[in-house]
Structure 1
Amino acid sequence: MSVILRTNQLTKRYAHRTVVDHLSMTIHEGDIYGFIGKNGAGKTTLIRMITGLAAPDDGTILMFGSPDLPEGRKFTGTVIESPALYPGMTAKENLLAQYKLQGIRNESQADSILTLVGLDDAGTKKAKDFSLGMRQRLAIGIALIGNPKFLILDEPTNGLDPEGIKEIRDLILRLNHDRKITVLISSHILGELSKFATRYGIIHQGKLIDEFTEEQLIQRCSAPDGTPIMDLEDYFLKKIQGGI
């Protein structure tokens, strides 16, 4: 299985504070990689370095097996923090504007993207009148322009109600299963993340302190007879508190 992303000893400092500390992470093709940590642990800073929004102070990044990051980022779609949308435009107008900004002349997939993210019936409704869930799905739709192989989502379910959270989960699963897109998703809603992530990384105080698969999580959270004794949230809390 090929490696989509590998960081080696990646480090980022702000003044005298180390925010990401010699972090080495591996994401394989086909993963839905759940990246978890407390607020301020370094999740967003790491994502900003991967996407080119921040420069590392030390360490290396390989994307698709290559150190040519500008080339690798061409095949990467990203949603970081709040979606940046044109409030006075419809969903389709927002998509078409992004096509132009990215210099992509072939806009033939705009309608299929809207259908994929469940906004094909949004019609003339303006983005300023969208629910938060609709805005997040449109942001993901914009990230899909150019047919990325790798999708990075930073807290995409923040502030959503249960219906909105399920819509995002179902969308991520469709993208992963049907379009074969590898996904890195940071989230603090661990009960939700455990429903669909296939691999996990735990960051604590800037360091990656654990990395494990879905199968390994089940084993670690079960008694010898296979009976579940804790869930992802319990495991995470014990891990960062040094209890495991």
Structure 2
Amino acid sequence: METALKIEHLNKYFGKRQILHDICMEVYAGEVFGFLGPNGAGKTTTIKIVVGLLRLDEGDVQIHGHSVTKNYEDAMACVGGIVENPELYKYMTGRENLRQYARMRKGVDEARIDEVVKLVGLSNRIDDKVSKYSLGMRQRLGVAQALLHHPKLLILDEPTNGLDPAGIKELRDILKNLAHKENIAVLVSSHLMSEMEMMCDRVGVIVGGKMLDVRTTAEMISAAQDTSIRYTVKVSDPARAAELLTQLPENAKQTEGDELVLRIETDKADEIISGIIETLVSNRIRVMTCIPEQTKRLEDVFIAMTQENGGAQIG
């Protein structure tokens, strides 16, 4: 896989206070990488270093093979981004904003402007004044602006802030399309776990200025799953049902009102729960419902990692 962004042993200090501690990670072409962390964890500080808005103190950042400390101009030519909110001229149209930005970049012509406008789905409103745009439309115009010069890496810091559910979905679809179809590396920072779970191919979690883990979204969730599943079974006679289930140890079954609560080993759960229901029905115990607990989500994993590592604030 082609490495679009490589961060090696990055440290940052504000005075005597260390803000970032030995950050290491890579982002590849063709993926959406979620940079996750609570407020104050160091996400924006890291991103500002990557895009050249802050100086790093130790370590190195390479964008498409170019070091930001040794070859700054070539590195910055490969990156486009929005840190916090896109800066736009509201009295201009969307197209005029893009033309203004294009003047600062070589090789950006009207055909490229039309191309990025189509990519972000603004073709029917690009000639309206930005003052008439919704927040979601401004975010899309900001993405278009960041894409004008064909960057290898697109960085968005909290891009869904203030967007309604429809706007969030629109932006999510745009970013996934850019990564998977245009082969651009997309780095998105956020603390909205449900959105990142749907959007990202891989995620990295930063807490207290330290990188805790980098994995695919599925791997991170799977690693945190319990080895057993809790089933809630609503039956006509819970006490008798518990007595009949001799194949389960006593600590794996308990009654709660008209419900039987069972704990089943995950690797054989379907087979075991099927046998349990068959046993109950054959002994004239009516089974009304059998509901497994929800598997853990990225949000559950994130909260657990945050709590285990001292909470949100850097120190």
- TM-score above 0.5, yes or no: yes
Aligned partner of 1:231 among 281, 290, 297: 297
How many angstroms apart in 1 are the aligned matches of 2:87 and 2:62?
A: 27
Partner residue, 2:59 = 59
Aligned partner of 2:212 among 209, 219, 238: 209
How many angstroms apart in 1 are the aligned matches of 2:134 and 2:108?
A: 29
Greater RCO structure (CA 8 Å; 6+ sep): 1
How many angstroms apart in 1 are the aligned matches of 2:158 and 2:204?
A: 15
Aligned partner of 1:219 among 214, 218, 222: 222
Matches within 5 A, 1:132-211: 132-211=135-214
Partner residue, 1:17 = 17
AA of the residue aligned to 2:191? H
Matches within 5 A, 1:37-52: 37-52=37-52
**TM-score between both structures, scaled by the size of structure 2:** 0.73
Partner residue, 1:95 = 98
* CA distances 1:107-141 after superposition (whole Å, capped 9, x unpaired): 32111211111111115421112110000000000
* Residues matched between the structures, number: 243
AA of the residue aligned to 2:52? G
Decide whether the 8 Å contact of 1:221 with 1:229 is kept in 2.
Answer: no
Deviates more, 1:138-147 or 1:120-129: 120-129
Deviation at 1:103, TM superposition (A): 4.5
Decide whether the 8 Å contact of 1:7 with 1:62 is kept in 2.
Answer: yes
Decide whether the 8 Å contact of 2:31 with 2:180 is kept in 1.
Answer: no
Deviates more, 1:139-148 or 1:227-236: 227-236
Decide whether the 8 Å contact of 1:99 with 1:107 is kept in 2.
Answer: no
Partner residue, 1:80 = 83
Alignment pair present for 1:111 and 2:114: yes
Deviation at 1:105, TM superposition (A): 5.3
Partner residue, 1:6 = 6
Deviation at 1:17, TM superposition (A): 2.1
Decide whether the 8 Å contact of 2:63 with 2:78 is kept in 1.
Answer: no
Deviation at 1:170, TM superposition (A): 0.6
Give SS of 1:134's match. Answer: helix
**TM-score between both structures, scaled by the size of structure 1:** 0.93
Give SS of 1:194's match. Answer: helix
Give SS of 1:160's match. Answer: coil
Deviation at 1:223, TM superposition (A): 4.0
Give SS of 1:49's match. Answer: helix
Give SS of 1:109's match. Answer: helix
How many angstroms apart in 2 are the aligned matches of 1:39 and 1:214?
A: 20
Partner residue, 1:30 = 30
Larger radius of gyration: 2
Deviates more, 1:43-52 or 1:115-124: 115-124
Deviation at 1:29, TM superposition (A): 2.4
Q: Please list every run of 5 or more consecutive structure 1 residues that lacks an aligned counterpart in the other structure.
A: none
Runs of 4+ residues deviating >4 angstroms: none
How many angstroms apart in 1 are the aligned matches of 2:28 and 2:109?
A: 30
* CA distances 1:144-188 after superposition (whole Å, capped 9, x unpaired): 011112110101100100000001001001111221111100011
Deviation at 1:93, TM superposition (A): 0.8
Q: Please list every run of 5 or more consecutive structure 2 residues that lacks an aligned counterpart in the other structure.
A: 228-265, 268-291, 310-315
